Amino acid sequence: MLGYLSQHNVMYKLMSSLNMPKKPASKDWHRADIIAAVRKTGTNLNQLSLKHGLGIGVLRNCLNHPYPKYERLIAEHLHTTPQIIWPSRYHTDGTPRSGRGERGLGRYKRKYKINPTSANVNVNQ
């Protein structure tokens, strides 16, 4: 009985590893690596924000959420491009991914369609 259970466990592990798709590894820099790289230049994200006339925590927000304008400031400070630091946020041609627009979840959608023929009708006639 013990031999059957061990064989069953081995087969289960083998089959589950073959059938389960592996999650692709994230190629983005880790937030600690970005912070360390900025600190190696003799400053930090808060000072860099103030240097560019921004609020203290503005550039720190780039570590969690995509902000292409501010990502560019961090990348320029590190003498690289945002595509190298955050490849998941950019297309191969260097344009930022828009997240919502690419999934068809635009922020500003009309609830009602306006019929152009009825919109131009003069009420005073």
121 inside domain: no
Specify the pLDDT at position 45: 96
> What is the per-residue pLDDT across 59-107, written as a single tens digit (0 to 9) for each?
999 999 999 999 999 999 999 999 999 998 888 888 888 766 554 444 5
- Give the global pTM: 0.61
Q: How far apart are CA 73 and CA 52, in angstroms?
A: 9
pLDDT at residue 40, rounded to an integer: 97
Residue 61 lies in a domain: yes
Domain count, the chain: 1
8 domain residue, yes or no: no
Residue 68, domain CATH: 1.10.260.40
Domain assignment present for residue 22? The answer is: no
| Cβ 49 vs Cβ 57: under 8 Å | yes
Residue 79 within any structural domain of the chain: yes
Q: Which residue range forms the structural domain that includes residue 46? A: 31-92
What pLDDT digit, counting tens, does each position of 23-62 carry?
555 589 999 999 999 999 999 999 999 999 999 999 999 9
Q: Which residues pair with 90 in a beta bridge?
A: 96
Q: Is the pLDDT of residue 13 over 80?
A: no
